[in-house]
Amino acid sequence: MKMIIKFSSTILLVVAILLLISSPVTAAVSGFVAKGDDGNFYEYSYDNLLDSYALSILGSPDGYYEDFAGKKSYAILISNGKYIEYNDILDRYASALVKGEAFNLGEHAEKEKIKLAALPSEIKVVIFNSGRIVYELKKIASGGVEEEPGYRPRRTKTPLVGSAEVSVEQAQKWAKSREAHRRFIDIAPLYWEFAEKSGLRPEVLYAQSAMETKFGEYDGTVPPEYNNWAGLKIAEENGDSRENHEVFSTPEEGVRAHFNHLSAYVGLKPIGEPHGRYHLVAEQPWAGSVFYVEDLSGKWTPSEDYHIYILIALDQIFDTELEKEIPGPDDNDDQNKNEPESETKPKTGSNNPDKRHVAVDVSVLHFRGGPSTDDEILERLTLGTVLKVTANQSEWLKVITPEGKNGWVHGDYVREVDMDLPENPLKGKIIVIDPGHGGSDPGATGVTGLREKVVNLSVAKELIPLLELAGADVVTTRSGDHTVSNRARVEIANKAKADLYLSIHANAYSNPDSNGTETYYWSKGENAHASRFLAHQLQREVTSVLGLRDRGVKSSNFYVLTNTIMSAVLVEIGFLTNPEEEELLSKPVTHRETAEAMYEGLKAYFLYYR
């Protein structure tokens, strides 16, 4: 039985909060879309709505929540960029309540029949800036690929014909990073297989399929069982309804039809017997003259921006990095790998291994328990990590990590570095310390009332003198209890031309059992490798000193991480909503110890990152 319930905007938000509380991280809510009386669609940040709603309850409304409450909720934006239809979620939630069942938004989002919201090509993003509401236009692709603000194509023209420039493994890893449906990930090898037969570039068609099928989720018009990977219509179509789209017997046939259809644009011969619409396209006066992705706009679809989304997806695929599996030693090494190692001097550099240092020269390097690809992977080292060489066996180097761990790496994937370690690596460095929240923004509040803004500032005040004593030039975003916007924090850091940005926070969650320390960086920025290395140093030091659960290093698109132009991290020290951790975070000694741990992490970053 389908239940339709009318809620006020306030109740809608409360229900949405309840839904999120019960949902796993994979479906974390990023925002809401509401429809105004003017017919426009408006997107609101989830975090900003929560903050604004709290201010309204406290009697100090800032207008952001009130702006949302005056409109009709339409969709939920989850962290993978998908917009889920709001009414569908409410119906399912209401049905679960009637049946006495738990409703899990994460499980709902992962189901094949997830109902995606239909949105126009442009919506307005609602931003709270300097005490007033402003709107920024955001373009929404017809598929699952969103436009990136300020995007500029890397090439003047992107050819449709040619050899693949990326591997199928890269494409699949990209699809996984976008939380694509399993069917879309699994279909990738067929694109590379048909590329060999047609001459078309597989990554172009795969990126296009991501748009047309919303990463294999589809949108209800063309169901998955049609095996239609490109939204292809029948020859005699007369609209956009389901019956106007081609049905293919197998996924493979659908991929073949996709290649054949684009072959008609380029002027290539089809693979086998083509589908009906192939002949219709082949008869067009421009058929055989469409050679670039940029030429698809206005032809494949009336949209003049269609190609932009394919180019964005292609750039994302190109930027997807695979872990390079290190080649094994030669046959003689395989035969001798179980024999006592011969610790000879390295082939290059210092004759004394104890004085030699190397830096990781690939995005991810396997750190192993022995000198062979058969040995256990102990850790994955990030680009720039400095290692101390203690011995070598053939092409393998025995090394010590900055954390003091012993293991092996392959010499082909490191480079030798000068390591005349400075006595004071922090001297002259410009470091921005950002105590999160402040003023009218208290941040999280603990079970006994401890406010996050107080903890953050206290830790910062303990850390800053340590850094200054070491010769660092410290810039802080706030030295007292006053409000600073995220935009202002970023401007302070960028204007200072800082070497490093550290934002200090304490965590919160609805479940009081949630606990531990976690550190965030942004994995897609220019300084991603350095930021990741920095995050690991701080995470290691803070968890070691406080003894809290290690929740790990994670990537997140927090505003202060995506808009700063230097290495940047955000540390969540512990959970104020956990009674034991709140008590720990209330103590001045904890603030001092946390600051000392952060100091050691910052020092390790400047010592060991190259």
- Cite the active site residues: 572
| Token reading at 314 | 């292609």
**CA–CA separation, 582 vs 568, rounded Å?**
26
H helices within 272-360, ranges in order?
A: 276-282, 306-319, 331-336
CA dihedral for 300, 301, 307, 313, sign (positive or negative): negative
Q: Which two tokens stand for residue 323?
A: 């872990």
245 DSSP assignment:
B
Spatial distance between the Cα atoms of 192 and 194, rounded to a whole number of angstroms? 6
What is the Cα–Cα distance from 423 to 119, expressed in whole angstroms? 58
Distance CA 160, CA 267 (A): 11
CA of 79: how far to CAs of 16, 493, 509, in Å? 15, 27, 17
Q: Structure tokens of 594?
A: 């946390």
What count of other Cβ atoms lies within 10 Å of the Cβ of residue 8? 9
Contact 287, 265 (CB under 8 A): yes
Residue 388's contacts (CB-CB under 8 Å, 6 or more residues apart) are 354, 356, 357, 399, 400, 419
Neighbours of 456 (CB within 10 A): 27
Nearest to 389 by CA among 422, 364, 411, 413: 411
Torsion angle of C-alpha atoms 557, 558, 561, 564, degrees rounded to 10: 110
The span from the CA of 125 to the CA of 137, in Å, is: 6
Most distant CA pair in the chain, distance: 78
And the tokens for 28?
């974390």
Cβ atoms of 185 and 292 within 8 Å: the answer is no
Given a contact cutoff of 8 angstroms between Cβ atoms, the answer to whether 374 and 396 are in contact is no
User: What gap in Å lies between CA 523 and CA 562, rounded to an integer?
Assistant: 9
Which two tokens mark 226? Answer: 């049609």
Classify strands 500-507 and 567-575 as parallel, antiparallel or unpaired: parallel
CB of 422 within 8 A of CB of 603?
Answer: no
Going by their DSSP bridges, the two strands 396-400 and 406-410 should be labelled as antiparallel
Rounded-to-integer distance, Cα 350 and Cα 280, Å: 70
The answer to whether 573 and 507 are in contact (CB under 8 A) is: yes
